[in-house]
């Protein structure tokens, strides 16, 4: 999708569709009785011509400005655009980049289904800076353009060829925002495409090949190791999972080290890359198992983040590690009751072979520390328990360092991604103590997201560490106006923004 940036009269824009944002300036009454408030919709632009074109439909009460309300006007008088699409952004006082990102995604999804190939967005007059608004529009457009119907034989080739962002302000600043948003949007969809692939087309080897190809394109160093290296490093937890599959595992290590970067800090990004999870010997129920192709979403996220970091070039060293394998039942597979020795030397009693993600991450975190990482973040579709706790609305966040968490929380809020901190205190670790080994790989039924995090904390040791459990958010269970059903790319924007700020701190 080509992105153009224009600063001209909106009435003169020749496009298949001009998109404008409608907001509601009505405020709640002092007594809070909102049901009596009438919407006061208006087109959020200073352009008189666009205001005039939309005046009748707004004055009729048909347009209220509520979130993602859509009104399409054909052949609008006084405009060179063939259509005018009015999209609601909600209350003016609460309007945020999140709302604008969704508006852009909804515009793309609506217009491409109608055969529109190019359109323009009129940045709204609001509390947002022009640069933040332009960034939100471009990111949202890339979110909206992705569809998961890759293998449909009658797939409709619906796409948007070009998006024009109509904005007033410092052109160089706006262009920088647009260019950065393109990098983030393309990296997000790169991640989503990896997650969307079925496991017979996304084996650990194929995932490693994608990582190598991407790294070569953007200038990252990428090393891929197989079973021999995993055994040499004494990654017994990782190998315990991998040994049950005929597909060879892959330890993927991507390094970004810009010239002039200080020796410390070094940010380590560790992703769970289970390209298919049957549960192993503790096999899952058949219902819904097809979704386990996305059990590598944490790893794919880290690969996408590394792509964006390489192109955005923060002044900090970052190492991305993905532990990729399948979790399969076979005559070679680990069994409940087995004892594995992790890279750190800790011994683990396998209680449930379906608690495999924490095993591969344990060795990934240890290896990241060995490579010199001073701060660690892991991402994984780790537990069903986090979905019970938070539903599909929030990423579960765990941390062993309050300052590190607070810094990340500010970033995720700015990125507009919903995340919620959950506890990881010692009581949860006690639930994973084994009578025969150091740890068990499960802590029982209760508090499952926290016991899993407590297990991982043991392998981060004293290194500042964050764990993102994305099990409930990595996959959109239903289509929304701004995003297709399927992989979401959650946490990628937060991690990219954090890495950039981390480099400047």
Instruction: Please pick, among 91, 229, 284, 414, the residue that the annotation labels catalytic.
Output: 284
Average pLDDT value for residue range 151-178: 91
Clarify whether 155 is annotated catalytic. Answer: no
pLDDT of residue 233: 98
pLDDT of residue 36: 46
Q: What is the dihedral of CA 483, 488, 494, 495, to 10 degrees?
A: -150
Percent of the chain with pLDDT over 70: 97
**Stretch(es) of the chain classified as CATH 3.40.630.10:** 189-504
User: pLDDT-derived band of residue 332, with 50, 70 and 90 as boundaries?
Assistant: very high
Clarify whether 421 is annotated catalytic. Answer: no
pLDDT of residue 214: 98
Average pLDDT value for residue range 313-338: 98
Q: pLDDT for 237-265, tens place per residue?
A: 999 999 999 999 999 999 999 999 999 99
Task: Give all strands of the β-sheet with 347-349 in edge-to-edge order.
Answer: 339-341, 347-349, 439-440
User: pLDDT-derived band of residue 10, with 50, 70 and 90 as boundaries?
Assistant: confident
pLDDT of residue 37: 63
pLDDT of residue 155: 79
pLDDT of residue 38: 83
**19-36 exposure pattern, b = at least 16 Cβ within 10 A, e = fewer:** bbbbbbebeeeeeeeeee
Q: pLDDT for 416-473, tens place per residue?
A: 999 999 999 999 999 999 999 999 999 999 999 999 999 999 999 999 999 999 999 9
Determine contact, residues 102/140, Cβ cutoff 8 Å: yes
Tell me which DSSP letter residue 37 carries: P
Instruction: Please pick, among 101, 102, 358, 500, the residue that the annotation labels catalytic.
Output: 358
Q: pLDDT for 382-428, tens place per residue?
A: 999 999 999 999 999 999 999 999 999 999 999 999 999 999 999 99
Residue for token digits 């198992």?
289
Average pLDDT value for residue range 148-171: 89
Q: pLDDT for 79-106, tens place per residue?
A: 999 999 999 999 999 999 999 999 999 9
Question: Strands 250-256 and 317-327: what pairing?
Answer: antiparallel
| Paired tokens of 505 | 């701190």
DSSP H or E stretch at residue 377: strand 375-380
**Stretch(es) of the chain classified as CATH 3.40.220.10:** 2-150+161-168
What is each CA distance from 217 to 1, 186, 306, 340, in whole angstroms? 19, 14, 12, 38
pLDDT of residue 8: 82
Average pLDDT value for residue range 318-346: 98
> Is domain 2-150+161-168 classified as CATH 3.40.220.10?
yes
Q: pLDDT for 479-488, tens place per residue?
A: 999 999 999 9
User: pLDDT-derived band of residue 158, with 50, 70 and 90 as boundaries?
Assistant: confident
Q: pLDDT for 289-314, tens place per residue?
A: 999 999 999 999 999 999 999 999 99
User: pLDDT-derived band of residue 9, with 50, 70 and 90 as boundaries?
Assistant: confident
User: For every residue of 49-84, which 3-state class applies, written as one string?
Assistant: HHHHHHHHHHHCCCCCCCCCCEEEEECCCCCCCCEE
Question: Which residues fall within 8 angstroms of residue 456, CB to CB, at 6 or more apart?
Answer: 358, 361, 362, 365, 378, 398, 465, 467
What is each CA distance from 465 to 305, 366, 400, 404, 452, in whole angstroms? 17, 12, 6, 7, 14
d(CA 213, CA 269): 19
Q: Tell me which of 2.40.10.120, 3.40.190.10, 3.40.50.300, 3.40.630.10 is the CATH number of domain 189-504.
A: 3.40.630.10
For helices 204-218 and 171-196, the axis angle rounded to 10 degrees is 160
Q: Is the pLDDT of residue 28 over 90?
A: no
Count of alpha carbons within 13 angstroms of residue 315, beta-carbon side: 6
Closest CA to 412 of 299, 493, 308, 305: 493
Q: Is the pLDDT of residue 505 over 60?
A: no
**333-359 exposure pattern, b = at least 16 Cβ within 10 A, e = fewer:** bbeeebebbbbbebbbbbbebbbbbbb
Q: Is the pLDDT of residue 34 over 70?
A: no
User: pLDDT-derived band of residue 141, with 50, 70 and 90 as boundaries?
Assistant: very high
């Amino acid at each position: 999708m080509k992105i153009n940036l224009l600063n001209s009269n909106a009435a003169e824009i020749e496009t298949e569709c001009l998109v404008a944002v409608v907001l509601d300036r009505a405020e709640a009454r002092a007594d809070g009785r909102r049901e009596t408030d009438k919407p006061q919709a208006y087109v959020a632009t200073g352009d008189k011509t666009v205001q005039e074109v939309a005046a009748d439909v707004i004055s009729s009460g048909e347009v209220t400005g509520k979130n993602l309300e859509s009104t399409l006007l054909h052949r609008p008088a006084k405009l060179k655009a063939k259509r005018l699409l009015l999209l609601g952004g909600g209350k003016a006082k609460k309007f945020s980049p999140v709302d604008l990102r969704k508006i852009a995604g909804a515009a793309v999804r609506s217009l491409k289904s109608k055969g529109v190939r190019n359109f323009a967005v009129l940045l709204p007059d609001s509390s947002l800076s022009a640069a933040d608004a332009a960034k939100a529009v471009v990111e949202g457009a890339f979110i909206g353009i992705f569809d998961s119907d890759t293998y449909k034989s009658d797939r409709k080739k619906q796409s948007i060829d070009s998006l024009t962002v109509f904005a007033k302000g410092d052109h160089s600043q706006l262009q920088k925002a647009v260019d950065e948003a393109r990098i983030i949007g393309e990296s997000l969809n790169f991640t989503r495409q990896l997650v969307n692939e079925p496991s017979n087309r996304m084996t650990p080897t194929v995932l490693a090949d994608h990582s190598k190809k991407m790294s070569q394109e953007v200038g990252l160093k990428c090393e891929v190791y197989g079973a021999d290296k995993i055994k040499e490093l004494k990654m017994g937890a990782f190998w315990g999972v991998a040994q049950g599959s005929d597909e060879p595992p892959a330890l993927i290590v991507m390094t970004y080290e810009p010239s002039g970067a200080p020796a410390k800090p070094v940010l380590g990004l560790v992703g769970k890359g289970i390209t298919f999870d049957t549960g192993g010997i503790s096999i899952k129920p058949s219902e819904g198992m097809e979704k386990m192709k996305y059990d590598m979403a944490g790893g794919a996220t880290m690969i996408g983040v590394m792509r964006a970091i390489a192109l955005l070039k923060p002044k900090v060293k970052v190492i991305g590690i993905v532990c990729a394998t399948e979790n399969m039942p076979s005559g070679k597979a680990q069994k409940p009751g087995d004892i594995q020795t992790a890279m750190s030397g800790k011994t683990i009693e396998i209680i449930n072979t379906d608690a495999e993600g924490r095993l591969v991450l344990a060795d990934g975190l240890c290896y990241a520390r060995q490579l010199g990482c001073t701060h660690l973040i892991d991402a994984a579709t780790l537990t069903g328990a986090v979905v019970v706790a938070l539903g599909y609305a929030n990423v579960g966040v765990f941390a062993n360092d309050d300052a590190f968490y607070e810094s990340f929380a500010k970033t995720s809020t700015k990125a507009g991604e919903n995340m919620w901190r959950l506890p990881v205190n010692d009581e949860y670790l006690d639930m994973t103590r084994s009578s025969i080994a150091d740890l068990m790989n499960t802590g029982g039924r209760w508090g499952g997201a926290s016991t899993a995090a407590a297990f991982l904390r043991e392998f981060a040791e004293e290194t500042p560490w964050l764990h993102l459990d994305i099990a409930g958010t990595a996959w959109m269970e239903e289509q929304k106006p701004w995003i297709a059903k399927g992989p979401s790319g959650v946490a990628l924007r937060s991690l990219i923004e954090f890495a950039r700020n981390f480099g400047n701190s």
